[in-house]
Structure 1
Amino acid sequence: MPNYDAIILGAGAAGLMCAAVAGQRARRVLLVDHADEPGKKIIISGGGRCNFTNVNTAADRYISANPHFAKSALGRYTAADFIALVESYGIAWHEKTLGQLFCDGSAKQIVAMLLDECAKGRVDWSLGRAVTGVAHDGDDFRVSIDGRDVTAPALVIATGGPSIPRMGATGFAYDLARQFGLKVVEPRPALVPLTLGGDETLFRSLSGVAADVVASCGKTAFREAALFTHRGLSGPSILQVSSYWRHGQPVGIDFLPDRDAGWLQDAKRTTPRATLRKTLAGALPDRLAEILAERLGMTGELSALTDKKLAEAERRLSHWNFTPNGSEGYAKAEVTAGGISTADLSSQTMEAKRTKNLYAIGEAVDVTGWLGGYNFQWAWASGWAAGQVL
């Protein structure tokens, strides 16, 4: 006879939610994690305050080989549902920009809430021990944990992706998926700073300088802050486009998104003795204004520049292309893009189509949200969807 009704591998956001939901449906659940405590990534998220959801959650804020896959789970367990759970525990929260919700206090409150929900479902735990093998005999899954075997008819892969390896993250989910014949969309770092090389290293001298810009990659654009670093580019707008960026592609920056065409010609007429650097410094940090003016080769007074040259400067400033030579990798990536192929999973239940009672949820799956609480909402929704049917 199996030890449990379900074994869930991974005690992160998705695994905790799934265990709580299934346990409260009177399922005997074992939640397994090689870390010595659950929810470690939750605790460090949002600067320690956990950006736990986003009120603007919709499937079009997610990247996947199947852009429709996330609709079902997100539609059935919404941001409002998670907010209601948070409020039922008396956890105070606030909304920042762009619909992002954070705890007023600590991310530890969210972990404590999820642990309490698991306790209500009488969830059993195995923490701080490595999974050394997983097998399936046609009826039950057998999981070996440091030499001890446990069995259950259902198994959930909730071990996330390899982002933030210092927290113990690995690609274990992909190895397990391949073992059971599930395809894996090539994983890559997402929501990650980008690096600059070549003649663009000049901009690394601006380390610490930030500006409100529109950053774009292909047809996708985000208006938020960009930050220059000692290695390249970061800040919310860059992290957002990094999820869409592929090696060799340029990243476009509009440094002055609020300026109308012809504004430099107007400045030439009103302040002809001003330099381009001084004019730019009215809207951008001075060090950035200096480097942009130098790169444009326009160091004299505006009165000495033709309208055609000023129009070209405007065009460059609104379509400044950087060509990153890479990213800062999984060490600095907030999440992993790619993962277990949605083509092999049910969007309703997260169950593998060809292996009955095998499920994959959360970051392990090829569904990656924008910055700002979207990935947590996918974890809650996908975990809830699987927990409903275990």
Structure 2
Amino acid sequence: MARNYDVVIIGAGAAGMMAAIAAGRRGRSVIVLDHAKSPGEKIRISGGGRCNFTNIHTSPKNFLSANPHFAKSALARFTPADFIAMVDRHGIAWHEKTLGQLFCDDSAKDIIRMLLQEMRSADVTLSLGREISTVSRVGDAFRIETPEGPVEAGALIVATGGKSIPKMGATGFAYRLAEQFGLTVLETRPGLVPLTLDPGLLENLAPLAGIATQAEIRHGKTGFREALLFTHRGLSGPAVLQISSYWREGDEILVSLEPDIDFLAVLKAARRENGKQAPQTVLSLHLPKRLAQHVVERSGSTGPLADHSDKALQTLVDALRCWAIKPAGSEGYRTAEVTLGGVDTTGLDSKTMQAKSVPGLYFIGECVDVTGWLGGYNFQWAWASGHAAGSAV
């Protein structure tokens, strides 16, 4: 005998719990199923354990999608201010770190506890450790088979995320389910992920491992100014994670080190004041010493500054400003924070997240082809898309 609900939500992550809260508040009987033993595992590990739960600057331009307009409706109807109001109601202390990124003062677990409390207040049933064997359509209802018996509901919300961080239990379940019901799934790939280098380049840059500096990293017309970190596998840091969502295999990225410093003016002034200085001595006042040394050697700008013409100094500045690097690949889903691509938005209603061809079936969160920048944007998409679906069922 199947247990019957108005709404079944598969996935007890950020989007699924928000959808459950919105639906439960509207008087719907809701059950949330998840194969994990604990809810909100990605919330728990996010932001270094403090959860970068939203970004006050959120707008559609902060997201990648084959349809850049799709996210507008959901984002407009559940904003960062709406989520902050919930956080404040629960007395959770928070702070803005940088670039509009909001973090818990204490722990990401505060956000999980808040969502669970909101779910309880909305009479939502949470069922964890539930492996789902099959999902089918029985008349106007959806039937979800679990080892504990079947569950049926008139509405099914799929919030199982993407493929990123498989050790947290991530799978391609949502994509398989979408295809089962005739929806198109766009190519998926890791996003917000460190980039790797080929062995030759990696050996050349080995002395830089562990060094961090401010940089602007560009791919085509897109660029990000944040920290760059050299690692023993390649490149990481916020600027690299950001550009990784735009980079494609075989492409180069352009690195500009400390882009706010006028290095040409700095070098010319140093040449006038003390021409006996080596270029790396001057650059190391603004860059980590080993990085300054590497740039000078790469540009061939050896010898004292007095021996450098304006043209030679410009060559050195170009090595700082237009460093072309060709990554070999990325670290993959193992360390990727998000999954790019996913359920094609052309098959979904942007106001409700419902599948246009399958009434009662909804897809939300990371499994949809909407991917945010680093910095709280993906959580805001989870809250907004979950609220949109939960308000519609």
- Name the TM-score class by shorter chain: over 0.9
Q: Which moved more, 1:288-297 or 1:359-368?
A: 288-297
| Other structure's SS at 2:150 match | strand
State whether residues 298 and 319 of structure 2, in contact with CA within 8 Å, keep that contact through their aligned partners in structure 1: no
Structure 1 match to 2:245: 243
Identity %: 56
Deviation at 1:9, TM superposition (A): 0.5
Q: Distance in 2 between matches of 1:92 and 1:176?
A: 39
State whether residues 15 and 158 of structure 1, in contact with CA within 8 Å, keep that contact through their aligned partners in structure 2: yes
State whether residues 157 and 361 of structure 1, in contact with CA within 8 Å, keep that contact through their aligned partners in structure 2: yes
| Other structure's SS at 2:303 match | coil
| Other structure's SS at 1:366 match | coil
Could you tell me which of 206, 214, 217 is aligned with 2:216? Answer: 214
Structure 1 match to 2:347: 344
Structure 1 match to 2:103: 102
Deviation at 1:270, TM superposition (A): 2.7
Deviation at 1:234, TM superposition (A): 0.4
Structure 2 match to 1:61: 62
Q: Which moved more, 1:198-207 or 1:223-232?
A: 198-207
Q: Distance in 1 between matches of 2:67 and 2:123?
A: 36
Structure 1 match to 2:384: 381
2:301 matches 1:298? yes
Q: Distance in 2 between matches of 1:216 and 1:148?
A: 52
2:356 matches 1:353? yes
- One-letter amino acid matched to 1:154: A
Structure 2 match to 1:314: 317
Structure 1 match to 2:83: 82
| Other structure's SS at 1:83 match | helix
State whether residues 205 and 230 of structure 1, in contact with CA within 8 Å, keep that contact through their aligned partners in structure 2: no
Q: Distance in 2 between matches of 1:227 and 1:289?
A: 15
Deviation at 1:299, TM superposition (A): 2.2
Structure 2 match to 1:116: 117
- One-letter amino acid matched to 1:219: K
Q: Distance in 1 between matches of 2:295 and 2:199?
A: 17
Q: Which moved more, 1:73-82 or 1:298-307?
A: 298-307
Q: Distance in 2 between matches of 1:166 and 1:52?
A: 21
Q: Distance in 1 between matches of 2:367 and 2:274?
A: 56
Deviation at 1:294, TM superposition (A): 1.2
Structure 1 match to 2:226: 224
RMSD (Å), alpha carbons: 1.3
Q: Distance in 2 between matches of 1:298 and 1:333?
A: 38
| Other structure's SS at 2:92 match | coil
Deviation at 1:368, TM superposition (A): 0.5
| Other structure's SS at 1:174 match | helix
Deviation at 1:147, TM superposition (A): 5.8
Q: Distance in 1 between matches of 2:306 and 2:42?
A: 55
Deviation at 1:198, TM superposition (A): 4.2
Structure 2 match to 1:283: 286
State whether residues 213 and 258 of structure 2, in contact with CA within 8 Å, keep that contact through their aligned partners in structure 1: no
Structure 1: runs of 5 or more not aligned:
none
Deviation at 1:196, TM superposition (A): 1.1
- One-letter amino acid matched to 1:281: S
Deviation at 1:261, TM superposition (A): 6.9
State whether residues 275 and 300 of structure 1, in contact with CA within 8 Å, keep that contact through their aligned partners in structure 2: yes
2:24 matches 1:23? yes
Deviation at 1:260, TM superposition (A): 3.1
Listed one character per residue, the Cα deviations across residues 131-178 of structure 1 (whole Å, up to 9, x for unaligned) are: 100001341111011261111111111000010111011111101111
Q: Distance in 2 between matches of 1:137 and 1:38?
A: 28
Structure 2 match to 1:334: 337
State whether residues 15 and 385 of structure 2, in contact with CA within 8 Å, keep that contact through their aligned partners in structure 1: yes
Listed one character per residue, the Cα deviations across residues 59-106 of structure 1 (whole Å, up to 9, x for unaligned) are: 000000011111100000000000000000000100111000001111
- One-letter amino acid matched to 1:169: A
Structure 1 match to 2:39: 38
- One-letter amino acid matched to 1:320: W
Listed one character per residue, the Cα deviations across residues 101-136 of structure 1 (whole Å, up to 9, x for unaligned) are: 001111111000000111011111221121100001
Could you tell me which of 360, 365, 374 is aligned with 1:371? Answer: 374
Listed one character per residue, the Cα deviations across residues 27-75 of structure 1 (whole Å, up to 9, x for unaligned) are: 0111000001110110111111100000000000000001111110000
- One-letter amino acid matched to 2:52: N
Q: Distance in 2 between matches of 1:325 and 1:228?
A: 15
TM-score by length of 1: 0.98
Q: Distance in 2 between matches of 1:67 and 1:195?
A: 28
State whether residues 55 and 80 of structure 1, in contact with CA within 8 Å, keep that contact through their aligned partners in structure 2: yes
State whether residues 2 and 153 of structure 1, in contact with CA within 8 Å, keep that contact through their aligned partners in structure 2: no
State whether residues 14 and 158 of structure 1, in contact with CA within 8 Å, keep that contact through their aligned partners in structure 2: yes
Structure 2: runs of 5 or more not aligned:
none
